[in-house]
Amino acid sequence: SVIRLADYRPPAWSVEHVALEFDLGIDRTEVAATLELVRQADEPIRLNGEGLELLSLGVDGRTLAEGEYILADGVLEIAIDAERCTVNTRVAVHPAENTAFEGLYLSGSRDRGFLLTQCEAEGFRHITFFPDRPDVLSRYTVTLRADHDRFPVLLAGGNPDGEGVLADGRHWARFVDPHPKPSYLFAVVAGRLERISHDYTTADGRAVALHIWAEADVIDRCDYAMDSLIRSMQWDERTYGRNYDLDVFHVVATHDFNMGAMENKGLNIFNAKYLLADPDSSTDDEYRHVEAVVAHEYFHNWSGNRVTCRDWFQLSLKEGLTVFREQSFSADMNSAPLKRIEDVALLRRAQFPEDAGPLSHPVRPSQYSEINNFYTATVYEKGSELVRMLAGHLGQEGFRKGMDRYFERHDGQAATIEDFLTALGDANGTDLSPYLAWYGQAGTPRLSAEGRFDAAQRRYRLTLRQRTPATAGQTAKQALPIPVRLSLFDQSGKALPLRLEGEAAAGATERTVVLDSAERGFVFEDVDASPVPSLLRGFSAPVILECDYVPGELAILLRHDPDGFNRWEAGQQLAGLAYDDCRDGNVEGSALRAWTEALTHLFNDKGVDDALLAELLTPPGEIELVERQAERDPDRIRIARQAMLRKLAQRIGAEALRARYAGLRSETTAALDAPSQARRQLKRRVLDLYALIQPGEARELARAQYEQAPGMTDRLAALTTLATLDAHAAEAAIAHFRQRYDGNALALDKWFAMQALLPGADALARVQALEDDQAFMLKNPNRVQSLLGSFARANPTGFHRADGAAYRWLADRLVAVDSLNPQVAARVATAFNGWKRLEPVRREAAHAVVAELASRKDLSRDLTDILARVALG
Ligand code: ARG
Ligand code: ZN
């Protein structure tokens, strides 16, 4: 059954207050609920409930007999005359049997693990009967009762409101949340957990106890998360004037979690992968992810919790906005251009393919059959790009004013994307409604730019055109407002002051023009010679730029553009052309030459920052390069990409690479400051380039680096280089790592993933062998993602074997995972996205497998939905 945005109706009953009482047990937990309901429309009360064993049901103190209510298809319906009433239910649930990790479930083993909940999007209905929709906001009082030894720690969202010991020896704790919230933000945690704490005072003077909780063996890896949390709180106070609003803030780490983390009010719950960090088990990238995800969940307290979503179609209202806030925070904490590079690279790798295939959907979808399948790169990452465009349009001050208005106007409400645009617009006396079209239209717009220089008139005319290809179920496309930030450079790499036709005087060297129709020309005056345009600076809109630069022009930008992001971008575009040369067997191609020469120049230019250089030395990945040919053969893509990298390595030269590596090597520590991280990143790139031309020597360097590595970043990089060079020769090191980190789940995930990503014909056999490792298990989402997910989604040559063996293998595993955890199965299944653009042999093989899977009747709604859409191609 399909849910449609157009069918939205406000709730027929609101819930003013809900009191929940939990009698907690691993095998069986009883939940008593008291709901204070208030009529809003002339309809029966309808409460969602799934997988609940109903023990008793009463209205206004009277027990209902069978026949006085209807319980069918996950809905409990009670017809009643009153305007208000109190509904009492008592249900039993079975946490240890809950392998889907939605609702109340057990993390870890039966004898040592702990209980926790995950409710977004629709998990609360697996805990108790309730109108489980985000526009029902209620005040919560939660009482937990449990055996003291088994569950010494009892947590729920809100402020603590008493605790004690019961006559039967169990203990209890109560929590009251003064802020009305939707059910998806409810959470409880109970078990044996340790904590680290910090006393924080908000800018508006509230004393807040911050607690991070984790199991004893990992509690010493929570310090970086605490540090990140404090910086996030300070940043939101400074940047948005937003203060925290309860007396306590809990954060909990679990190894058993379907997603990254969850912003439950006052009780954030994290996949341990995004909370724990220490130099011996975490890479630099992982430190940055912890910082970003801690910030993301904290920022939700305003963008998501205080102002929530009216319905799940508005998901990007909180997610796109919060990703934008998180990205801005990370940019402030680290290097802004590098952060932008990382974000755009992610968008291209994860969101562009989504937009281009059968799973495409607008940032605000208009229908869904399983909402969990819409926690996508489109809703999150593209959604953030849309907020970024709005912020760019309003300017820093205007955006802040708009956000103040949005938070004030909608505090305590469940809002829509229109509400957001209206509040931002109202605060600035401007109409942002044209941007609404971005939210409703799927597909990545193609922006083409064509420049014409008129020497006689000293004019440069830039013609911009847009076109969005048809996407699944949405063929008619409209023109969108596309802000294009641009500069013009002369041939020596100097930026020109810009004067548009009709303007009196030249102004800044950078400005933003908006293309709001299919085509428009912009004329620049006083231009002496044919300029090189630097377009879409900072990636000012989420589009694909088509501009027929000659390689020399991109080389000018790559060398001279003062903006780090655009410099990288010019390098990416030039690398794309260089790739085309290699793919077409044109080893003497002018783009390939321009790219290798420009990068060699930058490599030898001591003025270039190490981290930026590392990024510049990385061409678009195999997944992004798919777009550059009509039919996709992953083996050929890899061969061409490797060939261009080898050319680059040869051009820079073995001597220069070896010397640079040695220099970086001698400064190696595990310190986390930015320059140290940058050195590690560059060192890795340099060694990988060196390996392409001097594999024997590179192997010895990698081996030594592995043995002497002061931290995980260097250790894992060396192991990867070693294994990529020769998996056989790396066996001893691989075995060493396995043993060194036995019992460290997050390090083992990286060990599985590293091997799952090794390219080539042996990949499937390697993955199958890894399934036999003692530490492999289908019931842990991180483990499934690290082996199955990495292989299927990020190892194109391994997964897309021409004989289709990997497709058949994955289909088989998907069925097994699905029977345990539908959300995880559905996510891994997106690996089949884009099968239709494969070359014919692979396409045939993939199609057969997808069609066969899609025809099964015994799969979850989550997996069925993905397969049905993917099968359409
Ligand atoms: N709101 C969470 C976050 O973005 C993600 C929760 C996703 N849950 C799900 N079942 N899809 O931080
Ligand atoms: Zn989020």
| pLDDT of residue 667 exceeding 90 | no
Q: Is 102 in contact with 19 (CB distance < 8 Å)?
A: no
Counting residues of the chain whose pLDDT is more than 70, the rounded percentage is 100
Question: CA 182, CA 413: separation in Å to the nearest integer?
Answer: 10
Q: Which two tokens stand for residue 822?
A: 């539908």
| Ligand (nearest to CA of 101) | 1
- Give residue 265 CA to ligand 1 midpoint distance, Å: 13
- Give residue 405 CA to ligand 2 midpoint distance, Å: 21
**Which of these, 396, 378, 354, lies nearest to 438 by C-alpha position?**
378
| Ligand (nearest to CA of 264) | 1
**Residue bearing the CA closest to ligand 1, atom 11:** 372
- State the chain's maximal CA–CA distance in angstroms: 96
Question: CA 671, CA 793: separation in Å to the nearest integer?
Answer: 32
**Residue bearing the CA closest to ligand 1, atom 5:** 262
Question: CA 51, CA 126: separation in Å to the nearest integer?
Answer: 6
Consecutive H or E run containing 183: none
**Which of 375, 378, 830, 866 to mutate to test ligand 1, by most ligand atoms within 8 A of the CB atom?**
375
- Give residue 768 CA to ligand 1 midpoint distance, Å: 30
- 402's CB contacts (< 8 A; 6+ apart) are 390, 394, 423, 424, 425, 426, 427, 428
Beta bridge mates, 89? 33, 57
Question: CA 643, CA 108: separation in Å to the nearest integer?
Answer: 46
Complex-level ipTM: 0.98
Predicted confidence at residue 636, as pLDDT, reads 97
| Ligand (nearest to CA of 303) | 2
- Ligand 1 atom closest to 121 (CA): 10
| pLDDT of residue 506 exceeding 90 | no
Continuous H helices in 241-335: 284-299, 315-333
**Which of 120, 317, 384 to mutate to test ligand 1, by most ligand atoms within 8 A of the CB atom?**
120
Q: Is 102 a catalytic residue?
A: no
- Give residue 485 CA to ligand 2 midpoint distance, Å: 28
Task: Give the 3-state secondary structure of residue 824.
Answer: helix
| Ligand (nearest to CA of 371) | 1
Q: Sign of torsion, CA 858 861 867 869?
A: positive
- For tokens 């910082």, the residue is 291
Question: CA 24, CA 155: separation in Å to the nearest integer?
Answer: 12
Kind of pairing between the strands at 267-271 and 248-254:
parallel
**Which of these, 440, 289, 319, lies nearest to 380 by C-alpha position?**
319
Question: CA 125, CA 625: separation in Å to the nearest integer?
Answer: 43
Each residue of 334-375: pLDDT tens digit?
Answer: 999 999 999 999 999 999 999 999 999 999 999 999 999 999
Each residue of 173-221: pLDDT tens digit?
Answer: 999 999 999 999 999 999 999 999 999 999 999 999 999 999 999 999 9
Which of 120, 215, 297, 622 is catalytic? The answer is 297
**Which of these, 580, 569, 504, lies nearest to 539 by C-alpha position?**
569
Beta bridge mates, 368? 3
Question: CA 750, CA 785: separation in Å to the nearest integer?
Answer: 10
Task: Give the 3-state secondary structure of residue 306.
Answer: coil
Question: CA 304, CA 209: separation in Å to the nearest integer?
Answer: 22
Kindly report the backbone phi and psi dihedral angles of residue 695, in degrees, each rounded to the nearest multiple of 5, phi listed first.
Answer: -60, -40
First-residue to last-residue Cα distance in the chain? 21
**Residue bearing the CA closest to ligand 1, atom 8:** 120
Q: Is 733 in contact with 719 (CB distance < 8 Å)?
A: yes
**Which of these, 192, 133, 93, 129, lies nearest to 8 by C-alpha position?**
133
Q: What DSSP state is assigned to residue 619?
A: P
Rounded to an integer, the average pLDDT of 139-147 is: 99
- Give residue 319 CA to ligand 1 midpoint distance, Å: 9
Predicted confidence at residue 283, as pLDDT, reads 98
Kindly report the backbone phi and psi dihedral angles of residue 866, in degrees, each rounded to the nearest multiple of 5, phi listed first.
Answer: -65, -45
**Which of 262, 289, 321 to mutate to test ligand 1, by most ligand atoms within 8 A of the CB atom?**
262
Kind of pairing between the strands at 13-23 and 138-146:
parallel
**Which of these, 166, 164, 158, lies nearest to 188 by C-alpha position?**
158
Task: Give the 3-state secondary structure of residue 105.
Answer: strand
**Residue bearing the CA closest to ligand 1, atom 1:** 262
**Which of these, 692, 605, 681, 608, lies nearest to 648 by C-alpha position?**
692
Rounded to an integer, the average pLDDT of 629-637 is: 96
Question: CA 797, CA 817: separation in Å to the nearest integer?
Answer: 23
Q: Which two tokens stand for residue 228?
A: 């990140």
Ligand 1: list residues with CB < 6 Å. 120-121, 258-263, 296-297, 319, 372, 375, 823
Q: Which two tokens stand for residue 394?
A: 């309003």
Q: Which two tokens stand for residue 624?
A: 């992004």
- Give residue 303 CA to ligand 2 midpoint distance, Å: 9
Rounded to an integer, the average pLDDT of 773-778 is: 98
Consecutive H or E run containing 34: strand 29-39
| Ligand (nearest to CA of 300) | 2
DSSP string, 436-480: HHHHH--SPPEEEEEEEEETTTTEEEEEEEEE---BTTB------
Question: CA 826, CA 611: separation in Å to the nearest integer?
Answer: 36
| HSE (side-chain half, CA atoms, 13 Å) at 81 | 0
Beta bridge mates, 544? 446
- Ligand 1 atom closest to 261 (CA): 12
Question: CA 243, CA 235: separation in Å to the nearest integer?
Answer: 10
- Ligand 1 atom closest to 297 (CA): 12
Question: CA 557, CA 78: separation in Å to the nearest integer?
Answer: 68
Q: Is 727 in contact with 762 (CB distance < 8 Å)?
A: yes
- 453's CB contacts (< 8 A; 6+ apart) are 459, 460, 461, 527, 529, 530, 531
Question: CA 362, CA 366: separation in Å to the nearest integer?
Answer: 8
- Give residue 316 CA to ligand 2 midpoint distance, Å: 9
| pLDDT of residue 418 exceeding 90 | yes
Predicted confidence at residue 668, as pLDDT, reads 81
**Residue bearing the CA closest to ligand 1, atom 2:** 262
Q: Is 649 in contact with 689 (CB distance < 8 Å)?
A: yes
| pLDDT of residue 507 exceeding 90 | no
Each residue of 644-665: pLDDT tens digit?
Answer: 999 999 999 999 999 999 999 9
Beta bridge mates, 106? 115
Predicted confidence at residue 872, as pLDDT, reads 94
Q: Which two tokens stand for residue 396?
A: 């820093």
Q: Is 332 in contact with 295 (CB distance < 8 Å)?
A: no
Report residue 669's pLDDT band, with 50, 70 and 90 as the boundaries. Answer: confident
Q: Is 147 in contact with 426 (CB distance < 8 Å)?
A: no
Question: CA 17, CA 34: separation in Å to the nearest integer?
Answer: 8
Kindly report the backbone phi and psi dihedral angles of residue 96, in degrees, each rounded to the nearest multiple of 5, phi listed first.
Answer: -70, -25
Q: Is 764 in contact with 810 (CB distance < 8 Å)?
A: no
Q: Sign of torsion, CA 441 475 838 578?
A: negative
Q: At what angle do helices 712-725 and 745-756 cross, to 10 degrees?
A: 30
State the average pLDDT for the chain.
98
Higher pLDDT, 563 or 171: 171
CA distances to 16, 808, 867 from 847, rounded to whole Å, are 51, 11, 11
- Give residue 261 CA to ligand 2 midpoint distance, Å: 8
Beta bridge mates, 160? 175
Angle at 352 between CA 351 and CA 355, to 5 degrees: 85
Kindly report the backbone phi and psi dihedral angles of residue 144, in degrees, each rounded to the nearest multiple of 5, phi listed first.
Answer: -115, 135
Kind of pairing between the strands at 171-181 and 138-146:
antiparallel
Consecutive H or E run containing 221: none
Q: What DSSP state is assigned to residue 413?
A: E
Can you list the positions of beta strands (E) in 543-596? 544-547
- Ligand 1 atom closest to 380 (CA): 4
Length of the chain: 873
